[in-house]
Amino acid sequence: MNILIHPTYFPSISHFVAMAQADAITFEMEDNFQKQTNRNRTYIYSPNGIQLLNIPVKHTAERYQKTKDVKLETGVDWQKQHFKSLEAAYRASPFFEYFEDAIYPIFHKKHTFLVDLNFETIDIISKCLGMKLAFDKSTEYFHEANDYSDFRALVNGKKDPSIFENYTQVFGEKHGFLNNLSVLDLLFNEGRFTTDYLKQQTL
């Protein structure tokens, strides 16, 4: 299966299910940026339930801007806020401390472009999972990607219809199972079993 998919910020479980089961991966690089999508956001399981982590980006006067040209807003210390939120959400999870050193640097490194940050988060998770993630990048935009299994719609976050098997979550007894969060939720709760879980799910 050759998939076409967006590079997103600490991608959703559905993104990683698609990537873990793919024979070849091509990342969409020629799309226009759209607000309120997982291009610059992800969802985690906080003590109060689902929590959005949003990356502030610089907006231009242009009507359309390609995602690969979108720059991060530097006037807001979103990195500190995001890491504090992850600590509050997952410090008590079985594997947070095990993977903490791997993810910590991303919250202190200064990126200029959103897409570079997204690729680094994907690289970090892939290394944590022991996945060798080889991929290509698109060089033109396809309205209909006939040569691919097209998973670009997964970028739409809350509109993503994917339903996955339950696994143990830190605040599950309080709020119930929350489906298809950031892959970080799965990683911190399932650790080395994450890859097996991803390969067993159905999109």
pLDDT 10s digits, 168-198: 999 999 999 999 999 999 999 999 999 999 9
Domain ranges of the chain: 2-200
Rounded CA-CA distance 138/135 in Å is: 10
**Predicted TM-score of the model (pTM):** 0.96
Across 14-18, 25-29, 55-59, least confident range: 55-59
Q: Which regions of the chain does DSSP assign to beta strands (E)?
A: 2-5, 24-27, 41-46, 49-54, 136-137, 149-150
Kindly report, residue by residue over 71-123, the tens digit of the pLDDT: 999 888 999 999 999 999 999 999 999 999 999 999 999 999 999 999 999 99
Q: Angle 14-18-23 (CA atoms, 0-180°, nearest 5)?
A: 170
What residues contact 174, with CB distance under 8 A and at least 6 apart? 47
